[in-house]
Structure 1
Amino acid sequence: MRRYLSDWKGLVYNFAFFLNGLLIFLLIFESRFSVPIWMQSLGRMHPLVLHFPLVVLMLYGFWVILIEKPGSVRWNNELAGILLLIGTFTAAVAAFSGFILSKEDGYEGDALFWHKWLGVAISLISIAWYSMQGYLSPWKLKSKLVAAGFLLLLFVGGHLGGNLTHGEDFLISPLPQAEDDVPKVAMEDARVFQDLVQPVLNQKCISCHNEEKSKGNLQMQTQALLVKGGKNGVLWDTTKADLGLLISRLHLPLDDKKHMPPRGKVQLTDEEIVLLAAWVKGGSRFDQLVSSLSPQNPVYAYAQNVLGGSRTEEQYNFDAADADEVAKLNTTYRLIRPLSAESPALFVNFYNRANFKSQDIEGLLPLKDQIVSMDLSKMPVKDEDLKILSKFSELRKLILNFTDITGKSLDELKKLPMLKEISLSGTGVKLANVKSLESFPALKKVYVWSTALTVNELAELKKLRKISFETGFRSDTLILALNPPVIENEEVIVSSKTPISMKHQIPGTEIRYTLDGTEPDSAKSLVYTKPFSISKNTNVKAKAFKNGWYGSKQVDRFFFKAGYHIDSVRLILPADQKFKAKGDITIADGVKSDKQQSSGKWLGFRENDFQSYLLFKKPVLASSVTLSMLRNVGGFIFPPVRIEVWGGANEKSLKLLKIITPEMPVKETPNSDYLVFNAEFDSQKLSCIKLVAKPLAKLPAWHPGKGEKAWVFVDEVFVN
């Protein structure tokens, strides 16, 4: 039995010795080492195994310090040796897995450097200590000094690892701040971002997104870094139904690996989520004062709870809604929340324009006696929907900015006895519609900026006494910019008969567009008067113009003309398992992916070239092949270095038709964008087309992943 035990110890010791040697080798050649896909799982075991050596080695270290004399009955040589051996082995495993994990994106800075080298030192000292047990009797002073120094290493290394994983203030974040540390900001002086939004980001987000640890290449320490975003793009986008990455990931299920903050971290409260969504929806301004907001605004309500304030909230004499009913009616894109703590009043925000229906408003009628504020900005609300809204008898504030109402049914809202504020900015209301609001019983304030009303009509409204009309800032020296026009087509793969439609929320606005890739101007570009069709792959660019306004920013959308139906597709080399989409059919399924590399609709190639056959049952008269691809510089996704198009009657009789050598990104290249490569060749009948796209072998020196292999992403291919 003793022999088998000794053999067991020898095997464990030798394996730990081997791991330490391998670790030293990898550290020496770290700059040349690229972690293969299969090894990444070993790195992610690091959080699972690191606690075991910490505990075991601390026990052994304290045991050595406490032993006071030779022959003590409290010392067991056999047990102590096993304890140190287990600690030595698990320390080597933890150090090796930690080294592998450190090669992933998102870990950088001084904390990582010191944690990595302390981890290696702990592993090496552990095996050296075990090897020299015979010379380090536990009751001698030198052993106790070694143990004390080793415990210090364990504490410092563990502390740095905790900072990397959870942030520097993880242990104390649940504790209330000392009274002297709480910022004394009056409501009148408070700023929305600085005093409300930033503290939430600092407490719940920045531990994973800072200069030491930037998951997804995203850092949040400054306003500039927030605006820049990460490798997946910008954090917010009010043109999207879900308002972009920041808000959409907060709403994902907790078990979803993309949910933020991840499981195990302190989660945002419902009030904090509403705060961030309202801030983004309101334009994500960094300079906005809380005092400029209406008391019904959810941001203002949040500020009252967090900062306090001299203004008193309206007292409501109705009962609170049933909590189960509120929970049942809450959806991901229709948020219902109390106006403030302990208040029976509710406010509702809508977010998903694409899926919005009139029934979404009607479905809230069970709460009509508690809803006092409703924000329908940018939803496709029609004039007929105002009849439903007129049933919400407790409604005080209604926001209809940039909706589709024309104003002809505004009188329906006269049935609301408590309505004090309505916002009609960016709608098509006429002067007569707006003037009729004077007869509303409780209405005090109306917002009508960016409407079709002329300067003279707005001046006429300003003369009215009962209601305060907010028309926006105007002067002889300041001209405002228009919002961009809206390209209404959601599908970007179109036939020659599909109409391309555009609109603008402000009536009287002229939309100018181009189809040749040039920037639209107000003089020579085409004027949009009705929907049009395209006959080839086309990048539609458009701007809005109107007298008395600056032209809008450009909006563009690339439309792919649907080509020949490809009967079958066969990938010659497989896509990477992480980005395999639907397999072969992905490049001919007529589904265009968004710019998110994790959308599940991209085929990703790194170790293999992209090589595929396109097969037709009957020969087609082909003259071009278009490849739809992705560039995400931060995500290591580059254009291919070479694209080849081959064609013939079958797989064995192919000839080279076209070679394309794409231009590589430079340091200043925008992070993420679609790529379109069109290969034109002499028209000929083909039954088989072979495509080849070769990934970049080594990322350039300016890239964070310099020397590593780039990805190639493909989602669609079109013939003619």
Structure 2
Amino acid sequence: MLYNTAFFLNGLLVFFLVFEDRLVTPGWMYLVGRFHPLVLHFPLVVLLLFAGWVIVVEKPGSNRWHAGLADTLLLTGTLTAAVAALSGFVLSQEDGYEADAIFFHKWLGIGVSLGSLAWYAIPVRRTPWNFSAKAVAVVFILVTMAAGHLGGNLTHGNDFLIPAAGEKARVALEDAQVYRDLVQPVLQQKCYPCHNADKAKGGLQMHTRELLAKGGENGIPWDTTQADLGLLLRRVHLPANDKKHMPPRGKAQLTEDEVVLLTAWIKSGSGFDGKVSELPRESPLYSYAQAVLRTGSAEDMYAFKAADASRVAALNTNYRIVKPLAPESPALVVNFYNRAAFKNSDISDLLPVGDQVISMDLSKMPVGDEDLKTIARFSRLRKLLLNFTDIKGNTLSELKKLPFLKELALSGTAVTATHLKTLEEIPSLRDVYLWSTPLSADEFAHLKKSKKIRYESGFRSDTVVIALNAPTVENQEQILTGGTRIRLSHRIPGAEIRYNLDGTVPDSAVSAVYSGPIAISQNTKLVARAFRAGWLGSAPVERFFIKANYRADSVHLISPPDAKFKGKGGKTLSDGIRSITLPNSGDWLGYRDTDFQSDLFFRKPVKVSSVTLSMLQNLNRFIFPPARLEVWGGANPDSLALLKVIRPAMPKKMVPGNEDFLLEAGFEPRLLGCIRVIAKPVGKLPAWHPKKGEKGWVFVDEVIIN
């Protein structure tokens, strides 16, 4: 019974393969497919055990070989391999898998299922000591491991088992880039497994900057004009049990710090080339960088020995905390509290662990210039915070004794430009903070000319100039029919909206000023910005609008669409709504075995000069532009004349994801009561396509008439 069941399941699998292009997968079947990662491991282990057993049996009659147990083991593997292969086949029908990436895994998995069935049926398995049986076992092990490896790549990424270039070395903080060294590693760990070149869930690939910015089927990942900052963070913040939550349940989730990182990066403009050193020190991005990046210099590897733990514990008081920089680190950081309880000896008391102290925060303590002589004895200090202390700067030269000092904070002190000159003689010093000091604007300007030290003066102006939000495009529809016009608005009173209709970015001088709804006479790319005195101009907002002068009074589909892609029938072509760019959205008319042919009728003849088809392209799913487009017209279906023939250019290589496009046929204006549109699918896919020679699909969702 088990063998016959396995035989039936393999027969069903072969049937599915033969008719794969015509299969309609109901939604509930995808649940079966998603069990594939759960069930596949059992047959892998059982079949590998059996194959290994065959290899180690060396002679007839060996007491290592138990024929009954071996039969049971192989039969169990055969049956479960068929179940795993069937569930994997169903899973492969979901969107998001690249044809090239899944091709070999699918066929190797099917080979394991059919091969194990054949192995059980042939006599050679009963004589495992023969060379032929052992050769079959070796081949079977290799095929099974190859199938498993390719499946692992699909799930976890190509470098899951063997990283492409080893572990990436951490860079110095001053050399780090925000995207490359902070954001990309998070995306690589938490997002790439489902959004890469081989597996693009939702049509989104994130492994290159260009594809990440392009977005997927549901749009671009971020939008700073929205309150939730767009799709990426919206999915991250969904409840964990929501099926759209990202990363999916069962995958490694983003930490709170990583969510803050992505939020701050998007708010800052989601740039790809900015450096960490250019960020404000109060930025969450800079704080994250400090937490995850090493400085990269030899002295920050902290080769010195740790201080005695009991001695460190004894130095902690209610007003002073001494603790390791990180678990297992020999470096110590010191923080002081309670100005009233502070004594100068509180600093010198730390000298027994002075060789381990690398950071000291004395902010708001009554520390004077004389105390700098004591502080200078902590020779391994990297970071010294003296904000709002009694420092005047007379003894700043003492700090030249600190060979590793990189960061010095003197905000709120009475230091002068003359005293600060001595800081240039500290070779390691990189950052000096001077907020709320008596230095003049000219003195700061002179200091900032330094090529060695970055002097941070903080906010020193009595006005704030920030950018306006982008204008709002109120039209929800993309296809404008009749007298429908484009409507814009802005939430800040007095903001002036300027726009261009040619796709270029408007400026505040010559671009048209929005004074009321905008009429268009053709397909138009609107770009608008907001301006107001005392504000920076907003980022541009872009929308593409399609002009449709006429809507057909009735539509007749001469050729019915494929049963899997029948949209809303003839209404699909004239409802004035562009479908979302998903083949399975239920809004597209799909044709493969027949030409798309449709008549559009008007009660009264209309003057027409162009007919435009709204179409879909997904090369991975065989959806191509039509091989030939014909537009016919006349008073009625019996008096049609050929008005235009177009042979669109075909793609030259595989382009991932879905893309909607317009195919326009223009001709001399004429009065028409009936228009017939014919689009012929590609008869044979090109040689570069994995399914070369097979038929292509044509997908249509709207016929636009002008």
Question: Which band: TM-score by shorter chain?
Answer: 0.5 to 0.7
**Equivalent residue runs for 1:183-332 within 5 Å:** 184=170, 189-211=175-197, 213=199, 219-227=205-213, 235-236=221-222, 238=224, 246-247=232-233, 249-250=235-236, 260-269=246-255, 271-294=257-280, 297-300=283-286, 302-303=288-289, 306=292
Which residue of the partner structure matches residue 530 of structure 1?
Answer: 515
Kindly tell me the number of residue pairs found equivalent between the two proteins.
Answer: 535
Counterpart of 1:161 in structure 2: which amino acid? G
SS in 1 for 2:193: coil
114 and 495 in structure 1: CA distance in 2 versus 1, 3 angstrom threshold: closer
Counterpart of 1:560 in structure 2: which amino acid? K
Contact 1:639/1:662 (8 A) holds in 2: no
SS in 1 for 2:521: coil
Aligned-pair distance for 1:629? 0.5
Which residue of the partner structure matches residue 560 of structure 1?
Answer: 547
In 1, the alpha carbon distance for the partners of 2:141 and 2:458 equals 78
Aligned-pair distance for 1:206? 1.9
In 2, the alpha carbon distance for the partners of 1:145 and 1:464 equals 75
Contact 1:522/1:545 (8 A) holds in 2: no
Deviations 1:291-334 (A, max 9, x none): 54456644445446545999xxxxxxxxxxxxxxxxxxxxxxxx
Counterpart of 2:664 in structure 1: which amino acid? F
In 1, the alpha carbon distance for the partners of 2:666 and 2:570 equals 21
Counterpart of 1:494 in structure 2: which amino acid? L
Identity across the alignment (%): 45
Structure 2: any 5+ residue segments left out of the alignment?
301-434, 437-456
In 2, the alpha carbon distance for the partners of 1:164 and 1:147 equals 26
Which residue of the partner structure matches residue 684 of structure 2?
Answer: 698
Which residue of the partner structure matches residue 106 of structure 1?
Answer: 97
In 2, the alpha carbon distance for the partners of 1:50 and 1:511 equals 59
132 and 575 in structure 1: CA distance in 2 versus 1, 3 angstrom threshold: closer
Which residue of the partner structure matches residue 597 of structure 2?
Answer: 611
Which residue of the partner structure matches residue 677 of structure 1?
Answer: 664
Aligned-pair distance for 1:212? 5.2
Question: Is residue 81 from structure 1 mapped to residue 71 from structure 2 by the alignment?
Answer: yes
Contact 1:236/1:280 (8 A) holds in 2: yes
Question: Is residue 664 from structure 1 mapped to residue 664 from structure 2 by the alignment?
Answer: no
Which residue of the partner structure matches residue 592 of structure 1?
Answer: 578
SS in 2 for 1:560: strand
In 2, the alpha carbon distance for the partners of 1:12 and 1:529 equals 71
Which residue of the partner structure matches residue 716 of structure 1?
Answer: 702
Aligned-pair distance for 1:675? 0.8
Contact 1:576/1:604 (8 A) holds in 2: yes
Which residue of the partner structure matches residue 155 of structure 2?
Answer: 165
SS in 2 for 1:675: strand
Contact 2:633/2:643 (8 A) holds in 1: no
199 and 530 in structure 1: CA distance in 2 versus 1, 3 angstrom threshold: same
Contact 1:493/1:560 (8 A) holds in 2: yes
465 and 97 in structure 1: CA distance in 2 versus 1, 3 angstrom threshold: closer
In 2, the alpha carbon distance for the partners of 1:576 and 1:246 equals 34
594 and 241 in structure 1: CA distance in 2 versus 1, 3 angstrom threshold: farther
Question: Is residue 500 from structure 1 mapped to residue 486 from structure 2 by the alignment?
Answer: yes
Contact 1:625/1:680 (8 A) holds in 2: yes
In 2, the alpha carbon distance for the partners of 1:502 and 1:20 equals 55
602 and 47 in structure 1: CA distance in 2 versus 1, 3 angstrom threshold: same
**Equivalent residue runs for 1:31-42 within 5 Å:** 35-38=21-24
In 1, the alpha carbon distance for the partners of 2:578 and 2:700 equals 10
Which residue of the partner structure matches residue 50 of structure 1?
Answer: 40
Contact 1:698/1:706 (8 A) holds in 2: yes
In 2, the alpha carbon distance for the partners of 1:22 and 1:685 equals 49
Deviations 1:385-412 (A, max 9, x none): xxxxxxxxxxxxxxxxxxxxxxxxxxxx
SS in 1 for 2:258: helix
Counterpart of 1:283 in structure 2: which amino acid? G
Aligned-pair distance for 1:197? 1.1
Please give the root-mean-square deviation of Cα atoms over the aligned residues, in Å.
Answer: 5.8
Which residue of the partner structure matches residue 447 of structure 2?
Answer: none
In 1, the alpha carbon distance for the partners of 2:577 and 2:654 equals 27
In 2, the alpha carbon distance for the partners of 1:245 and 1:216 equals 12
193 and 613 in structure 1: CA distance in 2 versus 1, 3 angstrom threshold: same
Deviations 1:352-388 (A, max 9, x none): xxxxxxxxxxxxxxxxxxxxxxxxxxxxxxxxxxxxx
Which residue of the partner structure matches residue 391 of structure 1?
Answer: none
Question: Is residue 60 from structure 1 mapped to residue 47 from structure 2 by the alignment?
Answer: no
Structure 1: any 5+ residue segments left out of the alignment?
27-32, 174-179, 311-442, 445-462, 473-480
Question: Is residue 630 from structure 1 mapped to residue 627 from structure 2 by the alignment?
Answer: no
In 2, the alpha carbon distance for the partners of 1:114 and 1:676 equals 35
Aligned-pair distance for 1:204? 1.4
In 2, the alpha carbon distance for the partners of 1:12 and 1:569 equals 50
SS in 1 for 2:640: strand
Contact 2:469/2:530 (8 A) holds in 1: no
TM-score w.r.t. the length of structure 1 is 0.56
Counterpart of 1:661 in structure 2: which amino acid? I
Aligned-pair distance for 1:165? 2.0
In 2, the alpha carbon distance for the partners of 1:220 and 1:529 equals 37
Counterpart of 2:50 in structure 1: which amino acid? Y
In 2, the alpha carbon distance for the partners of 1:243 and 1:464 equals 28
Aligned-pair distance for 1:285? 1.4
In 2, the alpha carbon distance for the partners of 1:114 and 1:621 equals 54
**Equivalent residue runs for 1:414-493 within 5 Å:** 467=461, 489-493=475-479
140 and 706 in structure 1: CA distance in 2 versus 1, 3 angstrom threshold: closer
Aligned-pair distance for 1:129? 4.1
Counterpart of 2:154 in structure 1: which amino acid? L
In 1, the alpha carbon distance for the partners of 2:669 and 2:168 equals 73
Aligned-pair distance for 1:714? 3.0
